[in-house]
């Protein structure tokens, strides 16, 4: 398949942007073990405290299989990123790779989706701490495990300040501190599995109440995306996002990435097996076999493992319940400060490719961290306490938004093998012709299983950011005049808000209250058509108004827009949509999604091209960025990098 035509930098009249000047000011100190513990510290967070209950409530005893399926799918995604990250280790890596393969428009859309997910994770981890704390400090959450005002939300904000302080003192302190915290976080879940399995395991729960799959195979797959399973595995990305601060990144980042997924899959599957076997139906407050009722089972909803340990009536398990309450403070907090650092690196990564103002690339001279990006991430994270103050409500949205960006791992491998073939690859993915599209499809299926309401909410939040692109990035790069971008962005923003308010699909089925019946919504076909016109119309207008560079970037993004709009329609009419009788029944809907995914994959690989940025990296001869000493630098922050302002073409 022929590659898309390439525009050479000398044809554009612009200097290729220096994306990496600020990278040289980051400290390179993290070892492979510190990277592994960073990823494991993010994997073992609130997921192990809550996801086991949500998984059982969604699918019953087959929840252990859901953990294995989720782990295998995430592993396929991670394998593709292992090759890319070994070749191009970067801080804020995941938001920078799409820019290198498909240019600014694709990079912005997926970078914005990743930013939404990254900045919300510290909030969900703080919510987990507050929810468990309600066991001994009453009044922090209500009966639906939603944080209360002022006590619950203010405590959550206080925890966010703690996350900020840990990150601000620098990567050396955080990585060393995290090693001790993650060791604790690994030991406690492991001992919990052993104690529950030996002292409080009831085999009748596996088959005695409706069989092993009482809610069906469809529910077993849906649990992968919506109950916190994939959310728990998403911590593997930490090694990728901190890759620019690793001592030997080309070797260590791929090792830490793959090892963390495998270790997490083993641990979580064993925890799920032990929790399901430890259920005492009368203590949990539901009738035997009422798996779906577990999610609304009062105090169990707020502290599943604590109740499971206490329900046995055995002294050692009762004492262990107290340890679990301590761990409910340590584990989510340990994940929360890691993810706040990740969200800061995400803001930094978006800044490095020019999507955000250059001030967010500021590096402190003392601690050498992107401090202003850290401040912005903390402030935005606190805002998630207000509209979505519940772990169970937020987890599906985070999962879908994050995994949506992971589709680029499988796409990036073949494109970068074509456009950057000369760069060293310490890890080379074996069987990439098969495993790269499989990694892409793995991410696509997870997004589909999240359900229509979650997907619609994510897409609405992603596309509402398109005006920022034409207000800031496109004029800055000289694609379109600023005044043109202001008008185009304002018109689209107004239409998009009116359309989503008219359709009322966003947030309407994410909680047990306020959900609208289908009859209260406008006819979906018309709503869907208007969405298609607005998105493709915006992209078409941008293509028409842009210069040659802008048109190439838009052209390389058509596949993504068509794919996302196609997923919107399939999700509504498929088995995980809101229709009482799906238009595309299970498992035929999976075949439709896979076919759509394969078409999108082929189109995406064809659309990738040698961007100015990847050409500059290849010209340097190495995918590494060398650390720049800053001894003797003036006090204060290091000046942010420039991004290649257009210059006159030399004559003569």
- Domains of the chain plus CATH, in order, are 38-619 (1.20.1740.10)
Indicate whether 349 pLDDT > 90: no
Q: What are the structure tokens assigned to 368, written together?
A: 């050498």
For the chain, give the mean pLDDT.
79
Residue 150 preceded by cis peptide, ω within 30: yes
- 211: phi then psi, degrees, rounded to nearest 5: 90, -175
Q: End-to-end alpha-carbon separation of the chain, Å?
A: 39
- What is the mean predicted confidence (pLDDT) over 115-120? 80
In DSSP terms, 630 is beta-bridged to none
Report how far residue 499's alpha carbon sits from residue 362's, in angstroms, rounded to the nearest whole number: 38
**pLDDT of 390:** 62
Q: Which residue has the tokens 């804020």?
A: 92
Q: What does the pLDDT read at residue 631?
A: 44
Q: What is the DSSP letter of 207?
A: B
Contact 100, 416 (CB under 8 A): yes
8 A C-beta contact, residue 369 and residue 22: no
* Contacts for 388 with CB less than 8 Å, ≥ 6 apart: 120, 123, 394, 397, 510
- For residues 470 and 465, what is the distance between their CA atoms, to the nearest angstrom? 10
Summarised one tens digit per residue, pLDDT across range 192-226 is 989 988 888 888 888 777 788 888 888 888 888 87
Rounded Cα distance between 534 and 491, Å, is: 10
pLDDT digits (tens, 9 = 90+) for 429-447: 888 999 999 999 999 998 8
As to burial, measured by CB atoms within 10 angstroms (0-12 exposed, 13-18 middle, 19+ buried), residue 603 is middle
Strands (E), 455-608: none
Which of 267, 268, 261, 209 has the alpha carbon at shortest distance from 50?
268
Cis peptide bond prior to 587, omega within 30° of 0: yes
Token look-up 């066991």 returns 135
Per-residue pLDDT at 20: 53
Spatial contact of 7 and 552, defined as CB atoms under 8 Å apart: yes
Is the pLDDT at 9 greater than 50? The verdict is no
Highest mean pLDDT among 313-327, 453-467, 637-651: 453-467
Q: Is the pLDDT of residue 5 over 60?
A: no
Does the pLDDT value for residue 399 go beyond 80? no
For residue 516 the two structure tokens come to 């609208």
pLDDT value, residue 171: 59
The three-state secondary structure class of 91 is strand
Confidence of residue 245 (pLDDT cuts 50, 70, 90): low
Residue with tokens 């329609």: 569
Overall average pLDDT of the 339-351 stretch: 77
| Dihedral sign from CA coordinates of 10, 15, 19, 22 | positive
d(CA 229, CA 399): 9
Residues 6+ apart with CB under 8 A from 622: 423, 424
Q: What is the DSSP string of 575-588?
A: TTSS-SS-SS-TTH
- CB of 55 within 8 A of CB of 63? yes
Helices (H), 103-170: 104-133, 151-168
What would the pLDDT profile of 564-604 be if each residue is shown by its tens digit? 999 999 999 998 888 888 888 988 999 999 999 999 999 99
Distance CA 363, CA 22 (A): 8
């Amino acid at each position: 398949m022929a590659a898309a035509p390439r525009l050479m930098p000398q044809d554009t009249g612009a200097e290729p942007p220096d994306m990496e000047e600020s990278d040289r000011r980051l400290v390179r100190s993290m070892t492979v073990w510190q990277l592994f513990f960073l990823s494991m510290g993010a994997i073992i967070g609130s997921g192990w405290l809550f996801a086991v209950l949500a998984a059982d409530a969604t699918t019953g005893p087959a929840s252990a299989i859901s953990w294995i399926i989720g782990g295998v799918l995430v592993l396929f995604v991670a394998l593709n990123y292992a090759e890319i990250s070994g070749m191009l280790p970067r801080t804020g890596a995941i938001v920078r790779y799409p820019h290198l393969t498909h240019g600014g428009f694709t990079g912005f859309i997926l970078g914005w989706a990743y930013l939404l997910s990254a900045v919300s994770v510290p909030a969900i981890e703080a919510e987990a701490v507050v929810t468990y704390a309600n066991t001994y400090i009453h009044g922090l959450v209500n009966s639906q495990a939603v944080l209360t005002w002022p006590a619950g939300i203010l405590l959550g904000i206080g925890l966010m300040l703690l996350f900020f302080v840990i990150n601000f003192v620098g990567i050396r302190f955080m990585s060393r501190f995290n090693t001790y915290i993650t060791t604790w976080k690994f030991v406690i879940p492991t001992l919990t599995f052993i104690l529950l399995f030996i002292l409080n395991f009831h085999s009748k729960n596996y088959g005695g109440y409706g069989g092993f799959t009482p809610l069906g195979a469809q529910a077993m797959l849906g649990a992968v995306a919506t109950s916190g399973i994939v959310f728990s595995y998403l911590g593997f990305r930490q090694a990728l996002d901190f890759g620019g601060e690793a001592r030997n990144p080309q070797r260590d980042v791929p090792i830490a990435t793959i090892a963390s997924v495998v270790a997490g899959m083993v641990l979580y599957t064993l925890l799920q097996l032990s929790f399901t076997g430890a259920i005492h139906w009368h203590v949990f407050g539901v009738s035997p076999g009422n798996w779906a009722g577990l999610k609304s089972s009062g105090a169990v909803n707020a502290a599943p493992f604590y109740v499971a340990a206490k329900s046995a009536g055995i002294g050692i398990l009762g004492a262990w319940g107290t340890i679990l309450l301590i761990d409910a403070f340590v584990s989510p907090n340990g994940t929360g400060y890691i993810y706040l650092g990740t969200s800061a690196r995400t803001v930094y990564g978006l800044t490095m490719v020019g999507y955000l103002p250059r001030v967010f690339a500021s590096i402190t001279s003392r601690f050498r961290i992107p401090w202003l990006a850290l401040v912005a991430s903390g402030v935005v994270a606190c805002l998630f306490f207000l509209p979505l103050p519940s772990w169970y409500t937020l987890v599906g949205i985070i999962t879908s938004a994050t995994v949506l960006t992971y589709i680029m791992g499988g796409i990036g491998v073949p494109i970068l093998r074509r456009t950057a073939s000369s760069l060293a690859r310490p890890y080379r993915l074996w069987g990439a012709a098969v495993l790269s599209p499989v990694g892409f499809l793995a991410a696509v299926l997870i997004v589909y299983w999240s359900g229509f309401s979650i997907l619609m909410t994510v897409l609405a939040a992603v596309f509402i950011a398109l005006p920022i692109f034409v207000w800031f990035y496109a004029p800055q790069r000289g694609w379109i005049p600023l005044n043109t971008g202001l008008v185009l962005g304002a018109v689209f923003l107004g239409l998009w808000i009116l359309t989503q308010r008219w359709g009322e699909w966003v947030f309407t089925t994410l909680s047990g209250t306020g959900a609208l019946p289908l009859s209260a919504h406008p006819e979906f076909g018309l709503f869907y058509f208007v969405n298609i016109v607005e998105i493709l119309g915006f992209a078409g207008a941008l293509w028409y108004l842009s210069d040659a560079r802008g048109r190439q970037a838009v052209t390389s993004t058509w596949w993504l827009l068509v794919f996302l709009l196609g997923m919107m329609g399939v999700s509504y009419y498929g088995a995980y949509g809101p229709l009482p009788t799906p238009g595309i029944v299970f498992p035929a809907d999976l075949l439709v999604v896979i076919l759509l995914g394969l078409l999108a994959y082929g189109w995406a690989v064809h659309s990738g091209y040698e961007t100015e940025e990847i050409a500059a990296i290849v010209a340097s001869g190495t995918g590494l960025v060398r650390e720049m000493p800053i001894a003797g630098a003036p006090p204060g922050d290091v000046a942010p990098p420039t991004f290649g302002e257009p210059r006159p073409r030399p004559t003569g």
